[in-house]
Amino acid sequence: MGRVRVLSVAVLWCGLASAMPVGGASALGKGVRSGEAGVQPSPDAARRLAGEIAHVRLTGDLDAMAGVEALADHLATLDPERVSLLVLEVGANRARPDVLAAIAGVVRASEIPAIVLLMDAGDRRVTAPLVALGVLIGGAIAIDPRTEVRFERGDWRLDVLPDGTFADTALEELGGAVEAALAEREIDPTIGSPWLPGEDAPSGEAIVPRRLHAQGVDVIEADRVARIVRALDLRAGTPAVVEIDAGIASAQEDVGRLIRFTDDGIAECRRTLNLTGRRPDDREVSVHDYRRAGAAALERLAQAGQAIERAEGVLRRYPELLLTAPPGRTDIGATRTSLRSGWRYRLDDLREDIEYWRQRANDAASR
C-alpha cells in the first residue's frame, strides 16, 4: 500500500457556527451554493456540530492504485459522526483516469463531506483533470491562487493502465461520470471538456477559477485549510496533515536503490573473495584470510538477498512498475510483455549472481 505519514500535531476540537448539510460528500457543495447557514440543523447535522476537520495530502502523481488503497485505509479510521469535513489536497501533474475515479469512490464511500484543494507548492501547477476529481467528490473545489490548473501533453498516465483496461474506455468512463455529476447539480455537463482532454490532446489553457464559478462550479480560492474553514463558516482549528504517497515515482526510486545496493554488494563480494589479487605483497594467503573473507562476503550477500526480497515486495504493491523500464534499461520500442520480462530477467540474474558468490563464499569460509 502507499506510504502514509502524519506531519503535524493534533486536530483541535471545536463547534461549527452553522449546520453542516448531510448526505455525504455532495452535501457540502449544496450547503455552499444555497447559503442556508441559518437553517435549523437536522438531528444528523446536529451531531456534526462538534466535528473535526481532516486534512489529507496526496503527494506525487495519481498513477498508482496503492495510493488509493492507502487513502481508503486511512479514511476507514475516521468516524463520520465526528469528522465534519475532509480536505483532500492534491497537486499531481499526471494522473490515470481510473485512479481518479477510484479516489472519488473511496471518498464518497466514507460518507464524510469533502472538498478537494488543488495546490502544489513545488512547480505551482496541477493537471486540469483534477478539477474532475473535485466534481466527482462533490461540493466546492478549493484552488490555491498561486497554483495554475492546466493540462499539458502527456499528463494522462495511460502507459501504466492495467491489462484489459483500454485508454479510450477509461477516459470515456471518467467523462461520463463527470457529466452525470454535473447534470445532477444542474450544471451544463459539457463544461468538463477542457478538464478532460483526449488521449493525444495538446497542452491546453489554464483553467481560471472565476470561469469555473461562472459556469456553476463552487470555487473557493484558498492557499491553506484555515481559509477553506473560514470560507465555509466553520469554526475549527488547524487539523493534522496526513500525507499519502499516491504515485509510483517514490516506489520506482526505492526499487532502483535496492537493485543498485544489490549490484554493489555482489561487486564487493567479488573483490573480497579475490584474495590473491588484493595482496600488496607475495605473502601466502592463509586459511584464516579465506575464512574471514568468506564470512564477510556471506554477510554482504545476505544483505543483498534481503534487498531483492524488498524490491520484489515493492513490485507486488506497485504492479504498475512492471510496465516501466527496469533500472539500466530503456522503454524505447518496448512492449508490455518485454518490459515485464526485463524486470524478471533483471531480478533473476541478481539472484543467480548471489547464489554463485554465496557458494564461493561458503567454500572460503569453510576452509
Cell match 478537494: residue?
Answer: 116
Does 337 lie in the same domain as 224? no
Does 208 lie in the same domain as 176? yes
Does 352 lie in the same domain as 260? yes
Number of domains in the chain: 2
Residues forming a β-bridge with 156: 95
Which among 201, 220, 245 is the end of a domain? 245
pLDDT tens figures, 133-186: 999 998 899 999 999 999 999 999 999 999 999 999 999 999 999 999 999 999
> Which run of H or E residues covers position 148?
strand 148-149
Which among 185, 220, 245 is the end of a domain? 245
Which among 245, 262, 283 is the end of a domain? 245
State how far the alpha carbon of 245 is from the alpha carbons of 61, 128, 261, in Å. Answer: 9, 20, 23
Give the pLDDT score at 193. Answer: 86
pTM exceeding the 0.85 threshold for the entire prediction: no
Query: In sequence order, which residues have a C-beta less than 8 Å from that of residue 69 and are 6 or more positions away?
Result: 1, 2
Does 239 lie in the same domain as 257? no
Where does 241-322 show beta strands of DSSP type E? 241-245
CATH of the domain at 187: 3.90.226.10
Eight-class DSSP state of 56: E
The residue length of the chain stands at 367
Does 88 lie in the same domain as 186? yes
Give the pLDDT score at 281. Answer: 61
Does 195 lie in the same domain as 107? yes
Give the pLDDT score at 347. Answer: 97
CA 299 to chain centroid, in Å, comes to 35
Does 196 lie in the same domain as 80? yes
Give the pLDDT score at 11. Answer: 29
Does 202 lie in the same domain as 140? yes
φ, ψ for residue 115, nearest 5 deg: -140, 140
pLDDT tens figures, 227-254: 999 999 887 777 889 999 999 999 999 9
Does 302 lie in the same domain as 238? no
Give the pLDDT score at 236. Answer: 77
Does 309 lie in the same domain as 359? yes
Domain extent at residue 110: 4-245
Give the percent of the chain with pLDDT over 90.
71
Q: What is the mean pLDDT of each run of 10 residues along the chain (367 residues)?
A: 44 28 39 36 47 93 98 96 94 98 97 96 94 93 96 95 94 96 92 89 92 93 93 82 96 97 97 76 79 95 98 97 92 93 96 97 92
Instruction: Tell me the three cell numbers of residue 220.
Output: 473557493
